[in-house]
Amino acid sequence: MLTFEWPWLLTLLPLPLLYRLWRRRAETLAPALKAPVYFALAAQAQTQRQTGYWQWISLALLIIAWTCALLAAARPTWIGDPVALPSSGRDLLIAVDISGSMEQTDMVLEGDTVDRLTAVKQVVSEFVTRRQGDRLGLILFGTRPYLQTPLTFDRLTMNTLLGEAQIGFAGDRTAIGDAIGLAVKRLQSRPQDHRVLILLTDGANSAGEVQPLEAADIAAHEGVTIYTIGIGADVMLERSFFGTRRVNPSQDLDETTLTTIADKTGGRYFRARNPEELQQIYQQLDQLEPVEQEAETLRPTKALFYWPLGLALLCSLSLAPLANRENS
């Protein structure tokens, strides 16, 4: 179906004709000083111009250019047939920690040692691709939480924005409580039995205005189920001038708090020490049963103003050589 956003602009179509009639009437008024010879020559030249072949072509081009310009200004839009959106699934927010500690290189991915965020990006991206029918959203948090992607069916865009996330963009510390609070705020308007948050972090709460357990109580009251994931290796070999020693790169991970958050909200805590375990965790999360939602439809729209605008420009360019031909 073709529609116009500003159809009232089409009422200006007769404006050039009205101006032409006004000019013609003004020209018929008797001049203050008559010069018969020059007046006759001007009338003869005017008659020749009006009957010229190229004059009619120029007039036609002017009419087409004016009409197309008005059509473009009226913003024609093509509205397609209704498209049914998926009617089952959950409203699922994924909160990913991008604080400074996520740059720890204790993950092995396809034979290469990478930082934690790189491993998370690959596993979460595959998880997002598989979640057919879910509304997905992305929260990135460090010292402050940010809603990177609102709830949407557009998994491609969400994966793109996840891939663009960089360590430290949200600050170097970790605000777990504030991230939960933001997720609850974004899920409040959705049906109560659909609200799910998957929170992934490698540390403990060290910033923010809301404590994690207080945020968990609010989430439980609002019916938000939280699945928490602690990421980071237990053992890592660190080489130095004095030799090699074993260290625990995940000593700051607050598993007790993450477990309590999950228990309070009816979720579950998972521990991912490597990309393989993280992959298995998201495969378990894939088993979430979809819940029926209200059917929704979308009518795709496509702007068409550039077609009449291009034709108007083409007609305008064509008038220049015709004007030179008449003057020659």
The pTM assigned to this predicted structure is: 0.63
Q: What pLDDT is stored for residue 109 in this prediction?
A: 80
Mean pLDDT of 161-181: 92
How does residue 211 score in pLDDT terms, banded at 50, 70 and 90?
A: very high
Mean pLDDT of 243-263: 80
The pLDDT of residue 198 is above 90? yes
Q: What percentage of the chain carries pLDDT values higher than 70?
A: 80
In the sheet that holds 91-97, the strands lie side by side as 145-152, 135-141, 91-97, 195-201, 225-231, 269-272
Q: Which two tokens stand for residue 263?
A: 């228990």
Crossing angle of helices 212-221 and 255-264, in 10° steps, is 10
The residue ranges of every structural domain in the chain are 2-80+299-327, 85-292
Q: What pLDDT is stored for residue 225 in this prediction?
A: 92
Mean pLDDT of 200-228: 92
Mean pLDDT of 17-35: 68
Segment among 117-126, 151-160, 316-325 with least mean pLDDT = 316-325
Give 176's contacts (C-beta < 8 A, 6+ positions apart).
Answer: 141, 199, 201, 204, 205, 208, 212, 215, 257, 261
Q: What pLDDT is stored for residue 41 in this prediction?
A: 46
Span 288-313, pLDDT tens digits? 655 555 566 777 888 888 899 999 89
Q: Which two tokens stand for residue 104?
A: 């720890």
Mean pLDDT of 186-209: 87
Q: What pLDDT is stored for residue 53 in this prediction?
A: 65
Q: What pLDDT is stored for residue 116 in this prediction?
A: 87
Q: What pLDDT is stored for residue 86 in this prediction?
A: 59
Tell me the fold of 85-292. Rossmann fold (3.40.50)
Type of residue found at 93: L
Residue pointed to by tokens 């965790």: 281
3-class secondary-structure state, position 30: coil
Average pLDDT of the chain?
82
Q: What percentage of the chain carries pLDDT values higher than 90?
A: 33
Q: What pLDDT is stored for residue 213 in this prediction?
A: 95
Span 176-185, pLDDT tens digits? 999 999 999 9
Q: What pLDDT is stored for residue 35 in this prediction?
A: 47
Mean pLDDT of 162-170: 90
Residue in 178, 176, 165, 133 with CA at minimum distance from that of residue 152: 133
